[in-house]
Each structure stands twice: as structure tokens, then as C-alpha cells.
Amino acid sequence: MIVGVLKETYTNERRVAVVPRDVSKLKELGFEVLVESNAGKLAYFEDEEYESEGARIEDRKYILSNADIILKINPPETKEVEYIKDGALIVAFLYEWKNEELKKAVLEKHIRYLALEKIPRTTKAQFVDVLSSQATLAGYKAVLIAGELSPKLFPMLTTAAGTVKPANVLVIGVGVAGLQALATAKRIGANTFAYDIRPETKTEAESVGAKFLQSPVIVESKGGYARELTDEEKQKQYQFLKDNVARMDVVITTAQVPGRPAPKIITKDMVDGMKKGSVIVDIASDNGGNCELTEPGRTIEYNGVIISGPLNVPSMLPITASEMFSKNMFNLLKLIKEHPEMDDEILEAMLVKGGE
């Protein structure tokens, strides 16, 4: 079985799906490993390191047409599908709602595709869950970005020059990224607050020392995910959040609804009510953002409020992000080796099928 690791081509993408240290482990499992030249360069992994772990460096077309399993982070381009072997397997994100043509091309060529965004969000699937490993990093980094942009100190400080009060940091969306953001902000001394519409997030937020702002809108989750709110629920949420947001120094937003643009939670009007020098870090920016004023990919200042919309935040920590992604990939390949017919509940859930 030949496994091919391709270089990522998206702008802002510095990660690589497999790091050198996992190549020798894949070989122990019986895989031959091909790596595209410079695949790990932007994450500081050189071709020589891959070679010394037993990989062969090849060009992209060779890998596309010879690999039995193609490993990537972002989806390949539709035009590349023609080079891929019939019956091969691609493991990568697909986001089929925005890549219908790619999905069609893949299915027509009888190429199997395991879509990483379809990983079940269960404890059992944690060992392959790239969504969680990458979201954890995004949550951590969001706090560092906020700290860098904020004109105020995060921790309380008692000095001869007076006592500095800790910053108030609100995290909206307490999924994996939000929880890590809360834990990180707490660790550097901020006063932390959490908001989410899934009731189970209360105990999770409190377990990392945050004060939970009890939402007037409660949504029972489906597979752990939230749904889009009705107009009436949005209005209730707005009324509740407006005053709470106004007393914060930093707001970190991470809210997502699968397959939909990110919900707009912070309105222009709410930003108008914020203190000058407050900071919003909107890590839902890849999906449009949770703040009406977010400009994805940019940091702007509006009426004295600094609003940052960083894109692909895990890629800002390319070494750790690639190492964690690679570990998840290795675990997934082990599972695939044990279940080549995809007769496993995790693989079954990830397998892209026609007519969905």
C-alpha cells in the first residue's frame, strides 16, 4: 500500500498532514510513504527529515497517480482527480456543501473519500479527531492574539504603582476552541466569562474556572452541535448579550453551526456599546465570522474597538498543528488497515457517498 502526502496549496496554509516522525511508524504498519517535495517546508519539516525516516520525495503528479491513499488537509483540486488512480482513497477535509464538483468527480471515478469534517464527535473517535486537535490550538492562539492587540494587561497586578484589575474576557461558543480559550485566558490571569446556547457547556466552562452567563436561549444539541437560531431566539440572545458584551475588555468568538455560515452574534450596535480599547477576536472568520463588523483576514479598528478576524488560526502554529494532525492521521491509517472495507462506525460515518 502506497501512502502519498501532498503539499498544501491554499493561501494561509502552513501545515502538513504527516510529519517526519510518523513516517517510520507508517512504514512499521507496512505502508510505503511518498511525500511531495517541500510538503513540510512551511511547518519547518525539511525533505531530508522525511527521507531519513524512510519516505521517498516525489513530485505531485507522480504521487497523485501512484498512491493508494492520498493524505491531505484541505481538499485536492477537482482538476487533479483525473490523475488519481481508480479505487484510490483520499483522506482530507471535503466540505461537500461547497465542493460539489469535486465530490461528483471523485464518485464518478470510484475514488473513495474520507471527509475529515464528518468524524463523529464522540469520545471513541477522539484518537482520530482532527477537528478537536486543531480547534484546541485555535482557542489557545485566539487568546494570545487578543493579548497582543489589547491595550490592557490580562492579570491582576499589585505593585507600588497601584493595583491593576484583571481584564474581563468573554468567550462566546464553548466548544473545543472556546474551552481552550477560556482555560488559556484564565491561566494568564484574566477574569473569564462564557456564553453558549447548549446547556451542557455550563459545567464544562465552570470546570476551567469561567463564570457562565446563563443564556435565555437553550438549544438541545444534535451530535454535539448547535443549530441556527430562529429570529425570535436571535432577538432574545441579542437583548441578553448586549449589556454583557459592553462590560468586557476582550470578546473571543468561536460559534459555529455545521454546514452553515457562522451565526452573526455580535451586531454593530453591540460594538457601539463597547468600551474604547476593547478587543474582539473572531475565530469563526473562516466561515464569515460571528461579528457583523469582522473583516475576515484583517484587523480593523471601529470606533475605538479593535476587531480581528484571523483566518486558519491552527496554521499559525504550524509545527504543533501538523504534529497533532499527523498523529490523528496515523491513528486513522491504523484503523483503515484494520478495516479495509470501511466496516467500522467511524470510517462509515466519514465515507463520502452519492445522493447525500
Residues near ligand NAD, by CB under 6 A: 121-123, 126, 129, 131-132, 135, 172-178, 195-198, 201, 221, 224-226, 229, 254-258, 263, 265
In the complex, the smallest distance separating the C-beta of residue 246 from ligand NAD, rounded to whole angstroms, is 17
Catalytic residue among 15, 112, 129, 195: 129
C-beta separation of 60 from 72 below 8 A: no
- 221/299 with CB nearer ligand NAD: 221
Nearest Cα neighbor of 183 from 156, 203, 207 is 207
* Closest CB to ligand NAD among residues 224, 340: 224
d(CA 52, CA 24): 9
The end-to-end CA distance of the chain, in Å, is 29
95 is catalytic: no
86 is annotated as an active-site residue: no
**What 3-state DSSP class applies to 265?**
coil
Catalytic choice (95, 225, 238, 302): 225
- Closest distance of CB 271 from ligand NAD, Å: 17
Q: Annotated catalytic residue: which of 60, 126, 227, 286?
A: 126
- What is the closest distance, in whole angstroms, from the C-beta atom of residue 161 to ligand NAD in the complex? 39
How far apart CA 92 and CA 350 sit, in angstroms, is 10
214 is catalytic: no
Instruction: Give the count of beta carbons closer than 10 Å to the beta carbon of residue 210.
Output: 28
**Can you name the residues that pair with 299 across neighbouring β-strands?**
308
Amino acid code (one letter) for 148: E
State yes or no: is 196 an active-site residue: no
Task: Please tell me the number of Cα atoms within 13 Å of 305 on its side-chain side.
Answer: 29
CA distances to 65, 70, 216, 228, 351 from 62, rounded to whole Å, are 5, 12, 56, 44, 25
CB of 124 to ligand NAD, least distance (A): 8
Shortest spacing between CB 338 and ligand NAD, in angstroms: 21
Q: What are phi and psi of 59, to 5 degrees?
A: -85, 165
- Looking at beta carbons, which residue is closest to ligand NAD? 175
Identify which of residues 38 and 207 has a Cβ nearer to ligand NAD in the complex. Answer: 207
The verdict on whether 126 is a catalytic residue reads yes
Closer to ligand NAD by CB, 164 or 257: give it: 257
Whose Cβ is closer to ligand NAD: residue 20's or residue 314's? 314
Rounded to whole angstroms, the Cα distance separating 63 from 49 reads 19
Q: Which active-site residues does the annotation give?
A: 121, 126, 129, 132, 225
